Amino acid sequence: MAEFLVTGGAGFIGSNLVDALLAAGHRVRVLDNLSMGKRSNLPLDNPRLHFIEGDVADAEVVAQAVAGCAGVAHLAAVASVQASVDDPVSTHQSNFIGTLNVCEAMRQHGVRRVVYASSAAIYGNNGEGVAIDEATAKAPLTPYASDKLAGEHYLDFYRRQHGLEPAVFRFFNIFGPRQDPSSPYSGVISIFTQRAQQGLPISVFGDGEQTRDFFYVGDLVALLMQGLLSEQVVSDPLNVGWSQAVSLNQLLAEIGVLCGGLPPLTHLPARAGDIRHSRADNTRLQAHYRMPQQTPLREGLRQLLGL
So which residues are the catalytic ones?
144
Q: Residue 253 contacts by C-beta under 8 Å, 6 or more apart in sequence? A: none
Q: Is 8 left (phi over 0), alpha (psi -120 to 50) or beta?
A: left
> Measured over all CA atoms, what is the biggest interatomic distance in the chain, rounded to whole angstroms?
56
Nearest Cα to 188, choosing from 264, 255, 273, 280? 255
Instruction: Based on the shown chain and the rule CB under 6 A, indicate whether residue 101 belongs to the binding site for ligand NAD.
Output: no
Among 3, 58, 254, 274, which residue sits at the site for ligand UD1 (rule: CB under 6 A)? 274
Element (H, E) at 28: strand 27-32
Using the minimum distance from each CB to ligand UD1, give the nearer residue, 102 or 105.
102
Residue length, the chain? 307
Give me the 40-79 binding string for ligand NAD, x by CB under 6 A, dash otherwise.
Answer: ---------------xxx-----------------xxxxx
Which segment (39-47, 128-136, 159-167, 187-195) binds ligand UD1 by CB under 6 A?
187-195
Element (H, E) at 64: helix 59-66
Residue 37 binds: one of ligand UD1, ligand NAD, none (C-beta under 5 to 8 A by kind) = ligand NAD
Instruction: Based on the shown chain and the rule CB under 6 A, indicate whether residue 275 belongs to the binding site for ligand NAD.
Output: no
Instruction: Based on the shown chain and the rule CB under 6 A, indicate whether residue 173 belongs to the binding site for ligand UD1.
Output: yes
Number of neighbouring beta carbons within 10 Å of residue 203: 12
Contacts (CB under 6 A) with ligand NAD, residues 117-146? 117, 119
Instruction: Based on the shown chain and the rule CB under 6 A, indicate whether residue 112 belongs to the binding site for ligand UD1.
Output: no
Residue 186 binds: one of ligand NAD, ligand UD1, none (C-beta under 5 to 8 A by kind) = ligand UD1
Which segment (41-49, 100-108, 113-121, 157-165) binds ligand UD1 by CB under 6 A?
113-121
- Cβ distance 155 to 107 under 8 Å? no
Contacts (CB under 6 A) with ligand UD1, residues 189-228? 191, 203-205, 210, 212
Estimate the share of the chain in helix, then strand, then coil, as percent rounded to the nearest 5. Answer: 40, 20, 40
Number of neighbouring beta carbons within 10 Å of residue 247: 15
- How far apart CA 306 and CA 1 sit, in angstroms, is 34
Residues that bind ligand NAD (CB under 6 A): 8, 10-14, 31-37, 55-57, 75-79, 94, 98, 117, 119, 171, 173-174, 180, 187
